[in-house]
Structures are given as C-alpha cells and as structure tokens.
Amino acid sequence: MSKKLTKREDGYSKWYNELVVKADLAENSGVRGCMVIKPYGYAIWEKMQAELDRKFKETGHENAYFPLFIPKSFLSKEAAHVDGFAKECAVVTHYRLKNAEDGSGVVVDPDAKLEEELIVRPTSETIIWDTYRRWIESYRDLPLKINQWANVVRWEMRTRLFLRTAEFLWQEGHTAHETKNEALEEAELMLNVYAEFAEEHMAMPVIKGLKTESERFAGAEETYCIEGLMQDGKALQAGTSHFLGQNFAKAFDVKFTSKEGKREYVWATSWGVSTRLMGALIMTHSDDLGLVLPPKLAPIQVVIIPIHRNDEQLDAISVKVNEIVKELRKKGVSVKYDNRTTYKPGWKFAEYELKGVPLRIAMGPRDLENGTLEIARRDTLEKKNISQDTIVSYVEKTLEEIQNNLYNKALDYRETHITEVNTFEEFKDVLNNKAGFVSAHWDGTTATEDKIKDLTKATIRCIPLNNKIEEGKCIFTGEKSVQRVLFAKAY
C-alpha cells in the first residue's frame, strides 16, 4: 500500500480518511460502523486517558463501572432523554443461538426471547441514576462524584473513523449534589478540566460556551461545551458538560435527607469526552505528509535512525545511540531506536513523518567521527546538525517548543477564522468563501436557528461563556438581540 496521502487541498475528507488508516491509527472493521483502534492509535488514546484520569481524580472523582445494557423501560423514564437516545440504538432481543437444522451454521433461538429488550448503552444516565437511588440516603452521601471509562453504541447511519462511529470509547462522569449551585459549579469545573486538557495536552485551542436549547443534551437543563476549529474551517465539539437539574433525580426518585431533615431531590451533572478527540487531534495539526503530534501525547517523542552501509558501521553507531537513548529515557523522554535492517532509512523517514513523531534523529558514520547528529522537527520540518553532547537538553527544549508552536499555530488559525458579520449576505459569504466561526446576532429562537441551518448547513456552535453583552439585530429576522453567538459548519 502506498504511504502517500491525498493533499488536503485536493480533498480534506479523503486526506483525513487516508491518514487515519495509513498512520496506523484505526480502520474499519467487519462490523458496520465499528472501528478497530490499532496499537499506535490506541497508544495515543491511552495517553489521553492517563492525563484525563489524573485530572478527574485530582478534582475528587472516583472511577466505577456500570452495566453495558439498559432495560428498555429505563430509557422511557426521562421524557426528553428517551427522545434523544432511544431511537438509533442496538437492541438485544434474544439470549441464545442454536444450530440451524440444515447445518448451515447458527440461528437465533426463538425460545430464548428476552421478556424485556435490553439496549446497549448509548450513555449511562438511566442505569446510573437507577443505582444512585440505592446509594444516596442523606446529605452525608453527597456529593457523589463518579466517572466511568466505557464503550457506548449509537447506531449512526453515516460513520467516519473516530469522528462518528457506531461504537466508541469514552468516559462519562455522573455526579449528584445537595444544591443547584454546587451542581452548576461542578459542570463548569469539568468544562474547565476539558478545556485545559485540550489546550495544554492536545495543543488545541477551544472556545468554552453554552449550547442553545436545540443542541442541548437530551435531559439536560444546560449543556456546556468546548468547540475546536479544524484546518478546513469546520468546528468540532470536543467535549460537553451537562447541568441536569433534578430531571434524573425525579425520573428515578433519588432523594436525600438534608441537614435540616427534609427529603429533597438531588441535583445532577454529567460530562464526557470520547475517542472523537482523536479526530480533533488529527485534524488540528496534521499536514500533507501525515500526522503531526503534540509531544505530550506522542507515544514516541523521538525516533533515532541509523544510517549505515554495513554491520560494522551499524554496531559502532548503535553503541553511541544506546548511550543517548539511556540519557533521554532518564529524563522521561519516550524514544525509539529503529535499527531494523529490513527497511531502508528513507522508508523509515517517511514512516515516522507519517506517524507524526515530533523529533527524528539520524546518525551516520560521519556523525560518529564528528560527534554530531542530524535532528529534524516534525512540525516545521526544519533540520539541524548539532553536537551529540547537547542532545538531551536540545531534545527537552525542542519538545517544549513544538508543543507551544503547535498550539500557537492552531490559535492563530482560529483567531483569524472568527469573523463578525452583521447581515445574512455577509454570513453566507463568509461561510462559503472563508469558513471558520461566524460571530453574529441571533434572535434567540429555535425557529430561526433551524432556518439558518436549513439554508446554510451552519449551526450555532455555542454562546461563548465570556461573551460581551452588545445590543444588535438578528442577522436573519432583524429582531432584537443582546449578544453574538458563534455559528459554523461542524463535524
């Protein structure tokens, strides 16, 4: 298989699909809409998980595990929730197969029909709140702050690797609180945790905001989100945090005895990020040569490739390289020495470029003589010859520089792609010719939002949290508005 990618300008979507497969991140499986996450892609996801998990624990959350299946009747208990989630889902109706009478294989045993169908969880609010009813008796049991790492299934008709798959991996936090304020604070806290992770680890700038009513999570009273901007000018929702009010407490009858001895419904939040972040990471930084990874999430931060004509040369180079590897590892740098003789250096160069390894070191016989080596940055493609003696500090400094450079480059792109418009003509013009976020006044109605979406495919990504109040007129209806919102075409 050729490792050469379609160029972004020749087909952004094609470029993305090829990159995901060729960089060994993921591929489609024999099951419609379900992906296989390959070892290299999974290693990046593990790095994401580790950092997020650390942040969740640091903010007082514990992990637990709840069932994969949700009884059908549970979904119906919260009215808005069932409308949002009980539609396209995987339904388990039987619990046994048997041998076909004609010997052709196995068939579903009609005698093994479940009394009540089970739904493969699309999200776990219902099964978790059914459990919380048993766990919460008094204010002493609150707050209850639990996270789950799990797989979920939503029967998407059109799927794309990482961005929209029938099964995906995620974490879902579910918390219960004594007061409305405490729940709101939790929802905001977790939004900030996500934003910090996105910016500091993924090097992806995000806008924090509130969703409009029509884009809210089914069952939430308020949905907070972080929105990133991809290189093609389309927005991507990277994480959400929901203030659920008392909706699930009421649906599942979860009350607590307050300090004053009263029985009250508890207040709730839920929040999640998923393997979709992998898609966001890829599309924020990568280029026509392949993946570009921020050092903090790169499974391999430095790859070292020997350049040699014979075994003696390789042996001599290896002695020096092994010293360097040891020094780098001591500093916590993840380094790989690729001394395979089954592949040529040129092939390896292309391979690690495709896989987004932040730094590549090459060392040949002349380097060995001169005490030098060649080091190349994946982000800028810049090459330098430096002294072997300075390699450790050079690597540490440069990894930090790459991390910052990727963030700043993405921030710069984002900042130059937020366009204020005041008419619907301008609005359409920006969407068609520039893309990115469009900042515009909106009359606050779902009707207008829907019409704009029908006409332009742009949706309101969010009402930014740091919005300034500003009198204006809705670009579509001319009605009064008090603030601008961010529209964009989105993944």
Interacting residues toward a second copy by CB under 8 A:
27, 29-31, 34-39, 42-43, 45-46, 62-76, 82, 86-98, 105-106, 108, 117-120, 127, 130-131, 134, 140, 146, 150-151, 153, 155, 167, 169, 342
The smaller minimum CB distance to a second copy, of residues 94 and 384, is found at 94
What's the closest the beta carbon of residue 67 comes to a second copy, in angstroms?
4
| Cβ proximity to a second copy, 32 vs 457, nearer residue | 32
Considering the complex, state which of residue 76 and residue 404 has its C-beta at the smaller distance from a second copy: 76
Supply the minimum distance, in Å, between the C-beta of residue 440 and a second copy: 36
- Cβ of residue 116: shortest distance to a second copy, in angstroms? 9
Shortest distance, position 49 Cβ to a second copy, whole Å: 11
The CA distances from residue 471 to 210, 220, 439, 444, in Å, are 19, 28, 14, 13
Query: Which CB sits closer to a second copy, 259 or 468?
Result: 259
Residues 6+ apart with CB under 8 A from 277: 48, 198, 202, 238, 239
What is the SS3 assignment for 465? coil
Residue 481 CA to residue 479 CA, distance in Å, equals 7
In DSSP notation, 357-404 reads -SEEEEE-HHHHHHTEEEEEETTT--EEEEEGGGHHHHHHHHHHHHHH
CB of residue 45 to a second copy, shortest distance in Å: 8
Instruction: Please say whether the beta carbons of 232 and 327 come within 8 A.
Output: no
The secondary structure of residue 406, as a DSSP letter, is H
Q: How far is the CB of 215 from a second copy (least distance, A)?
A: 22
User: Between 176 and 452, whose beta carbon lies closer to a second copy?
Assistant: 176
Quote the tokens at residue 232.
């093609």
Q: How far is the CB of 50 from a second copy (least distance, A)?
A: 10
* Min CB(134)–a second copy separation in Å: 8
Nearer to a second copy, 87 or 180 (CB): 87
Contact yes or no for 436/485 (Cβ under 8 A): no
Closer by beta carbon to a second copy, 333 or else 431: 333
Q: What is the C-alpha to C-alpha distance for residues 10 and 8, in angstroms, rounded to an integer?
A: 5
Distance of CA 275 to the CA centre of its chain: 5
The token duo for 279 is 């898609």
| Beta-ladder partners of 62 | 146
Shorter beta-carbon distance to a second copy: residue 117 or 196: 117
Amino acid letter, 29: S
